[in-house]
Amino acid sequence: MEEREGEVRWDGLCSRDAASRAAALDNIGQAVLRRSETIAPVAAVPLSRAADGPLVPAARDGLSEVLARLLMLSKRCPFPDVREKSEAILSRVQELGIRIPRPLGHGPSRFIPEKETIQVGNEDAMMHALFAESFATLGRLDNVTLVMVFHPQYLESFLKTQHYLLQMDGPLPLHYRHYIGIMAAARHQCSYLVNLHVNDFLHVGGDPKWLNGLENAPQKLQNLGELNKMLAHRPWLITKEHIEQLLKTEENSWSLAELIHAVVLLTHYHSLASFTFGCGISPEIDCEGGHTFRPPSVSNYCICDITNGYHGVDEIHASPTGSIPVSICLIKSTESVCEVEALMEKMKQLQECRDEEEASQEEMATRFEREKRESMFVCSSEDEESAPTRDVSRHFEDTSYGYKDFSRHGMHVPTFRVQDYSWEDHGYSLVNRLYPDVGQLLDEKFHIAYNLTYNTMAMHKDVDTSMLRRAIWNYIHCMFGIRYDDYDYGEINQLLDRSFKVYIKTVVCTPEKTTKRMYDSFWRQFEHSEKVHVNLLLVEARMQAELLYALRAITRYMT
């Protein structure tokens, strides 16, 4: 909170000590009620008044932001005492005649029904430890965490890495780190991440003027704009000359260590934007679009919710009674089961072919070039709207600069051979040398995402999914021109159907265009946790691809 709200302090709530949290809650409750009582006489409006009544009194003196935060704590804090006390404070404010906020939307994801996500308060001991750690570190339990927790082992590694990048000792000052996060997320118009890091940037003492546009930030950060743009959309164009430009600009120059820190942050938030859109992450309860002060209508949602895209029902072509005809459900279910069986059969056949014969190096190279070329023509014909986004373009320049396929207009980009420059043999050691421990953290995260398996596929148990996971990872790298000499790219077309390829390419290259229909249309019989698992592969494969291009350019500059 700002100093003018001095008496409302939130930091004590992050303590693991119940007595410290209780003291902090008492102070917050007293401060909120004191402020509410000064407004209450103005707020003498019946609680049943319609939404078009007088302006919400809570909007005065910053009280609405305080109440929105209490709402978030009542729903999303891992500590039961904080949830209960926050709810009690809100009830007391309501009794004073002040309208309190209510959540919009249905859970942490627009794509996954809330009842199928982990409910705060119902988590097991391991998940609770992760939730408590996240809350203590960030001061919030965000929706990304609530969706990633389908895979606790990965989430633990992700949170540890993100905490190190944002809050531990490192080359860049804290406000620079959050501003770079804003710059990266804004490349994909990801208002969810921009909003979170605007708040964090201000919290660590960042200059609010910088938020009016990149041109208001220091020249040093402005100089990073070109690298941000290329990394997000066309990383294959990065050369050692781009690196030299950043390191040799006199008083605004970057050190090598600072640049490595910035590159890791940029790639982290580009790929996290992919996860945010790929899993349909909802706005945080206390952020714009996450709550409303308007009262619910009789049908439990009002016209303002509909215009904001928060419908009270799933958007489906339903029968007049509001349900999907049973016959259609049965047909779709049968098709989906067949889809799973067919995929498993293909995996079995490919394994048998592998055992029988191995293609020549020339044939493997031809198959890679064919897959790379074909990936250019994988695009969505969707015309439905994706998630509504606020205009965050002011945080970066050249908004027309986006993803472009390799060989458009006759331009040829050489293939990046992993055998010549790989994360394991080159990138890892470079990062660890210039930004100690981060190479190790990233390496652990890459390995967990790549090797994560529960040996299941939809309803089937004891399945070796390594072939499928490798196909997904290598397809993403193929879209970036990255080739593994020992991989047969003919397997990709066997294992990934068109709807899945459309989803992968959209989430990785133009995540802001991802729609619920795309999410629903691939792997229809699979669990939501399996689709989230796919997104973890997309996040890490994309991040590693961007890093490889940037780190190769830095290595070439250094030699």
Calpha distance 404→409 (Å, rounded): 10
Calpha distance 56→63 (Å, rounded): 10
The three-class DSSP label of residue 266 is: helix
The three-class DSSP label of residue 460 is: strand
Q: What size, in residues, is the chain?
A: 559
361 touches 369 (CB < 8 A): no
57 touches 100 (CB < 8 A): no
Nearest to 50 by CA among 366, 353, 294, 374: 294
Nearest to 98 by CA among 135, 137, 55: 55
Query: Please, what is the angle between helix 498-509 and helix 256-278, to 10°?
Result: 140
Calpha distance 483→415 (Å, rounded): 7
Q: What are phi and psi of 397, to 5 degrees?
A: -100, 170
Please say if 190 is a catalytic residue. yes
Long-range own/partner contacts, residues 19-27 (CB < 8 A, 24 or more apart):
21/79, 21/81, 21/82, 22/81, 22/85, 25/81, 25/82, 25/85, 25/86, 25/89
As a three-state string, the secondary structure of 413-433 is: CCCEECCCCCHHHHHHHHHHH
Nearest to 426 by CA among 292, 544, 306: 544
Alpha helix stretches (DSSP H) within 40-112: 63-76, 80-95
406 touches 472 (CB < 8 A): no
First to last CA, the chain: 48
380 touches 502 (CB < 8 A): yes
From the candidates 14, 77, 190, 478, give the one annotated as an active-site residue: 190
For the four alpha carbons of 425, 431, 437 and 442, in that order, the dihedral sign comes to: negative
Calpha distance 525→459 (Å, rounded): 8
Contacts of residue 448, defined as CB under 8 A and 6 or more positions apart, other chains included, come to: 153, 154, 157
Q: Which residues are marked as active site? A: 190
